[in-house]
Every structure is written in structure tokens, then in C-alpha cells.
Structure 1
Amino acid sequence: MQFKEIVGQEAVKQRLLNTVSDNRVSHAQLFLGPEGSGSLALAVAYAQYLSCEDKQPGDSCGVCSSCRKYQKLAHPDLHFSYPFFAKHKDDTALTFIEQWRDALLANPYISLDTWRGYLDAENKQANINIAECHQIIKKLSFKPFESEYKILILWLPEYLDKEGNSLLKIIEEPQPNTLFLLVAQNQDQILNTILSRTQLVKIPGLTYDEIKDHLLAAHHQTEEAAAEIAYLSNGNMTEALAMLQQDNKSYHELFVQWLRYCFGNKGIEVMAFVDQFAKMGRENQKNFLRYGVSFVRECCLLLAGAGNLVHLPAKELDTAQKMSNVLTIDNAQSIITELEKAHYHVERNANPKILFLDVSLQIIRVLITRNVPAGNQYMPN
């Protein structure tokens, strides 16, 4: 993995490069970024750069012996630790290393759900167990084999329970030229004893333009499809790539037509839409509801006089401006609440026909009777 293969994050890349050129490489670093930001890919690219035999000014060379091994995630001085679904108490990350390499090479923006799909997870909970902690200590007790550094990339340290305290000594007093790169999404869920021993590298979510441009250039999407996916993914490349696999990626017309039927209280047409929603499949249902939440929020910005903050394609902006003439902030907020509740229940396998009929009736109530449930009223400062 090279820096040039990672979408955006130019400031973070430069900071990492500077640590090497200035000889300020910290032995324990925490790459903290939201899902889909590329934090794991950045950690791998950084490790490859540190081990590269012919470093270039802005990236690893990509052709030396070390880089070729990194491209296969098979360098002897590169080690990974990650949550897994243990079948036996002695299972460690090495038990699943082939699946891990396949998963990460296929998608450097891997999520825990994607990783679960590579394993026979059943209903087990993911964790990093005590056997894995002992394995980490053992692996990192030796000197580097080929490169200047021996590097451990620990993905999602949030899944280290109290057993993670067994790693404190080796994190605080590692062997010379041993690096820990922790890649996390939620700082609050990391053991404080580990957190206090790392140097923080903050990684922001990707921008709308970064995701859109990537979809256009690397995945040959149309301008309209790339814009909609970039808007819907909200800075999460993992979500954007997952949406590429869905059959139906255009939700705008469907969502607006549904609201029109609800506003007109057209029962037959609403029921036809409910039947259509029920056949969409769970991922498309979730994406549709997520789109609806985002779109109505943009309408709220227009209603609040913050049009300069609205980020919609021209066609959708025109629709949002028209809708803002019939919506209020209160009933728009109520619609958002109903859509978010529906998304929650879709994730938990609710009956889609019953669910979408209920949310349709709730939206009709909000739009026709202007009956805003308590707690959803807009309270200006």
C-alpha cells in the first residue's frame, strides 16, 4: 500500500512523511479516524514507507524487495492484530491471517462487518483475547528480521478488554526499532492505560468532493451516481464502496415521490410504494432511509436560512427549495425522527412491509395534520 493509493488525507500523509524525514518516529502511535476515513490504509502505507529501501520524497518506491512484500502483506517484519471470532481459547490473529490478507487486499477500507463476512462468525462476539496478547508479546520480543523496523498494526484496539493491560510493558518499553500502530474509531472505548502511552494521529472523514472524484475516476460512475453516493456516504468510503454493489443507487426520485403521495394522502399509491420498499432488500432499504434523512436535513438548512451550507446536486437542490415551501422545521424534524427510527428497525430485521406502512402513516400525520410529536419541536436559541 502506497500513500498515492489512498484517497485524500493529504495533510495526514505529509505529517507522517515529516516524522520520518525529521527522525521523530514515535514508537507507539494511535491512528484515530471514523470508519471509511482510510486510517488502516494510512497505517499500512506508513509502515511500508518506513521499511522501504529506496524512499522517495513523498512515498515509498513500490518496487524494492520490501515494498513488494508489503504489497502482499507478507513482510516478515510486518505483523497484524485484529478482532476475530475465536472458536477455541488458543486462537490468535495468526489463525486467520490468510483471510485477513485477502480481506485487506480486496478492500483497504475494510469494516468489521466486512471482516465478519470472511469468517465463520456465527453469533460470536469479536474480541482480541489474552492468547493474542501473549502472541503479540512473543512476536515483538525479537529484533527486526529484514527491515530497520519491526511493526505491529493493531486494528480496532477498542476490542481489547482488560487483558490488554498485559501489553503495557512492551508498549512502554519495546525492543529497539519496534513500532506499535494502533488504528481506532472510538477513543472512548480504548483502555486508558493504553491510550496514555500513544501519540495521537487524528484522521478526519473524507470530503464529499474526495469521494465523488474517486468514484468518477476509479469506478467510472456517472456524474449523477457519483454525486448521490458521495452525498449519501457522508465522508465514509466504506459505505460508498458498499453502495456500488447495490442494484439501485438512485433514491432521489423514489423518496420525493413517496413524500408527495404522503402529502396527498393517496392511500393506494402509498401502499404500492410500501410493497416496492419491502422488495428492495435490507441494504437498499437502509441506504434509502439514510438518503431521506440527509435530504430532509438539507431542507432544514434552507428553512433556517443557511442555504450556503447546503451541499446538493443541482437537480436535488431545486427539489429541496420547492419542498421548503411546504415544510416547516418542526415537521421536517419529525420526518427525520421517523426515518431514523425506521433505519434502526431495518437493521434489526423488522418486517419491512409493516415497518414502511407505519412510517408512511406517521409521515402523513405530520404533513397533513401538522401534528408534531412532543420533543420534536424546533427550539431556537
Structure 2
Amino acid sequence: MQFKEIVGQVATKQRLLNTVTESRVSHAQLFLGPEGSGSLALAVAYAQYLSCEDKQPEDSCGVCSSCRKYNKLMHPDLHFSYPFFAKHKDDTALTFIEQWREAFTANPCMSLDTWRGYLDAENKQANINIAECHQIIKKLSFKPFESAYKILILWLPEYLDKSGNALLKIIEEPQPNTLFILVAQNQDQILNTILSRTQLVKIPCLHSQEVKQYLIKEHNQTEDAAAEIAYLTNGNLTEALTMLQHDTKSYHELFVQWLRLCFSNKGLEVLTFVDTFAKMGRENQKNFLRYGISFIRECCLLMAGAGNLVHLPAKELETAQKMTNVLSIAKAQHISTELEKAHYHVERNANPKILFLDVSLQIIKVLNLKTIPSGSQYIPN
């Protein structure tokens, strides 16, 4: 994995390169970034650069013996630790290393759900157990074999329970030229004893424009389709790639058509539309509702006079501006609440026909009958 293969994160890449050229490589670093930001890929690219035998000014060479081994994730001085679904108490990350290499190679921006798909997870909870902690200590008790550094990349340290305290001594006083790179998404869920022993490297989410350009260039998406996915996923490349695996029909056109039917209170046509929703499949239903929530939020920004904060493609912006003539902030907020509740229930396998019919009726009440629940935090208009 080279830096040039990673989408965006130009400033972060340069900051990491500077730590090497200026000899400021900390022995324990925490790469903290939201899902889909590319933090895991950055950690692997950084490790490869540190081990490269012919470092270039802006990247590893990609062709030396070390880089070739890194490309296969099989370098003897590169070790991984990650959450897994143990079947036996003696299972460690090494038990699942082949699946890990396959998963990372297929998608360096993978999420825990993606990783779960490569394992026989059943109903087990993911964690990093005490056996894995002991294995880490054992692996890092030796000197580097080939490279200047022995490197451990620990993905999602949030899944270390109290057994993670077994790692404190080796994190604080590692063997010479031993590096820990922890890759996390939620700082609040990491053991404080581990957090206090690492140097924080904050990784921001990607810009929607970066995701859009990546989808156009690497996945042959049209500009409109790429813009809609980038907008809907809000800089989360993992979600964007997941959406590519599902139906790419325009959620915008579908959502606006639904609102128009609800506004005109056409009962039979609404029922037909509900049948359409029921056939979309759970992931598409979730994506559709997520789009609706985002679109209504942008309408609220327009109505609040914050048009400079709206990030909609031109066609969708025009529709949103028209909708502000029939919506108020109170109505929009209530519709958004109904969509959020529907998204919650879709995730929990609610009956889609019943669910979308109920949501449709709630939207009809707001748009057509101008009804907003009394006693709520919203003020009727």
C-alpha cells in the first residue's frame, strides 16, 4: 500500500512523511479517524514507507524487496492485530490472518461489518482477547528481522477490554525500533491507560468532492451518480463503496416523487409506491431513507437562511428551493424524525410494507392535513 493509492488526505500524508524525514517517529501512535477516512490504509502505507529500502520524497518506492512483501501483507516485521470472533479461547488474530489479507486487499477502507463478512461470525461479539494480547507481547519481544523497524498495526483498539492492560508495559517500554500504530474510530471507547501512552494523529473525514472524483475515475460512475453517492455518504468512502454494490437508481427522483404523492394525498398511488419500496431490498431502503434525511436537512438550512452551508448538486438544489414554498422548518423537522425512525426499524427488519405505509400516512398528515403532533418540541406553522 502506497500513499498515492489512498484517496485524499494530502495534509495527513505530508505530516507522516515529515516525521520520517525529520526523525520524529514516535514509538506509539494513535491514528484517529472516522469510518471511511482511510486511516487503516494510511497506517499500512506509513509502515511500508518506514520499511522501504529506497524511500522517495513523497512515497515508498513500491518495487524493493520490502515493498513487494508489504504489498502482499507478508513482511516478517509487519504484524496485525484486529477484532475477531473467537471460536476457542486460544484463538488469536493469527488464526484469521489469511482472511484478513484477503479482506484488506479487496477493500483497504473496510469497516467492521465488512470484516465480519469474511468470518464465520454467527452471533458472536467481536473483541481482542487476552490470548491475542499475549501473542502481541511474544511477537514484539524479538528484534526486527529484516527492516529498521518491527511494526504492529492494531486496528480498532476500542475492542480491547481490560485485558488490554497487559500491553501497557510493552507499549510504554518497547524493544528498540519497535512501533505501535493503533487505528481507531472512537477515542472515548479506548482504554485511558492505553490512550495516555500514544501520540495522537487526527485523520479527518474525506471531502465529498474527493469521494466523487474517486468514484468517477476508479469506478466509472457518471458525474450525477457519483455526486449523489458522495453527498449521501458524507465523505465516508466505505459507505460509498458499499452503495455501489446496490441499485444505483436516483434516490432524489424517487424521494421527490414520494413527497409529491403524499402532498397530493393520492391514496392508491401511495399504496403502489409503498409496494415499490418493499421490493427495493433492505440496504437500498436504508440508503433511500438516509438520502431523504439528508435532503430534508438541506431544506431546513435553506429555510433558516443558511444557504451558504447547503451542498447539493444543482438539480437537487433547485428542487429543495421549490420545496421551501410548501414546507416550514417545523414540518421538515417532523418529516425528518419520521424518516429517522423508519431507518431505525428497517435496520431491525421491520415489515417494509407496513413501515412505509405508516411513514407515508405521517407525511400526508404533515403536508396535506397540516398536522404536527402537539406537545412535541416542534412549533406548528
Q: TM-score, normalised by structure 2?
A: 0.98
Q: Is the 8 A contact 1:229 1:249 kept in 2?
A: no
**What is the correspondence of 1:1-381 to structure 2 with a 5 Å cutoff?**
1-373=1-373, 374-377=375-378
Q: Aligned partners of 2:249 and 2:31: how far apart in 1?
A: 32
Q: Aligned partners of 1:376 and 1:202: how far apart in 2?
A: 36
Q: Aligned partners of 1:378 and 1:77: how far apart in 2?
A: 62
Q: Aligned partners of 1:149 and 1:248: how far apart in 2?
A: 45
Q: Aligned partners of 2:186 and 2:370: how far apart in 1?
A: 39
Q: Aligned partners of 2:77 and 2:287: how far apart in 1?
A: 41
Q: Aligned partners of 2:215 and 2:249: how far apart in 1?
A: 13
Q: Give the deviation of 1:156 after TM superposition.
A: 0.3
Q: Is the 8 A contact 1:144 1:150 kept in 2?
A: yes
Q: Aligned partners of 1:303 and 1:10: how far apart in 2?
A: 35
Q: Give the deviation of 1:378 after TM superposition.
A: 6.3
For the residue of structure 2 that corresponds to 1:120, the secondary structure is coil
Q: Is the 8 A contact 1:31 1:39 kept in 2?
A: yes
Q: Match for 1:170: what amino acid?
A: I
Q: In the superposition, relative to structure 1, how do residues 323 and 25 fare at CA in structure 2: closer, same or farther (>3 Å)?
A: same
Q: Give the deviation of 1:308 after TM superposition.
A: 1.4
Q: Give the deviation of 1:365 after TM superposition.
A: 1.2
- Gaps spanning 5+ residues in structure 1: where? none
RMSD (Å), alpha carbons: 1.0
For the residue of structure 2 that corresponds to 1:121, the secondary structure is coil
Identity among equivalent positions (%) equals 84
Q: In the superposition, relative to structure 1, how do residues 32 and 378 fare at CA in structure 2: closer, same or farther (>3 Å)?
A: farther
Q: Match for 1:375: what amino acid?
A: S
Q: Give the deviation of 1:369 after TM superposition.
A: 2.6
Count residues with an aligned counterpart.
379
For the residue of structure 1 that corresponds to 2:179, the secondary structure is strand
Q: Match for 1:377: what amino acid?
A: Y
Q: Give the deviation of 1:362 after TM superposition.
A: 1.0
Q: Aligned partners of 2:106 and 2:250: how far apart in 1?
A: 26
Q: TM-score, normalised by structure 1?
A: 0.98
- Gaps spanning 5+ residues in structure 2: where? none
Structure 1 runs (4+) deviating above 6 angstroms are none
Q: Give the deviation of 1:366 after TM superposition.
A: 1.4
Q: Match for 2:33: what amino acid?
A: G
Q: In the superposition, relative to structure 1, how do residues 298 and 168 fare at CA in structure 2: closer, same or farther (>3 Å)?
A: same
Q: Aligned partners of 2:255 and 2:85: how far apart in 1?
A: 38
Q: Aligned partners of 1:119 and 1:7: how far apart in 2?
A: 27
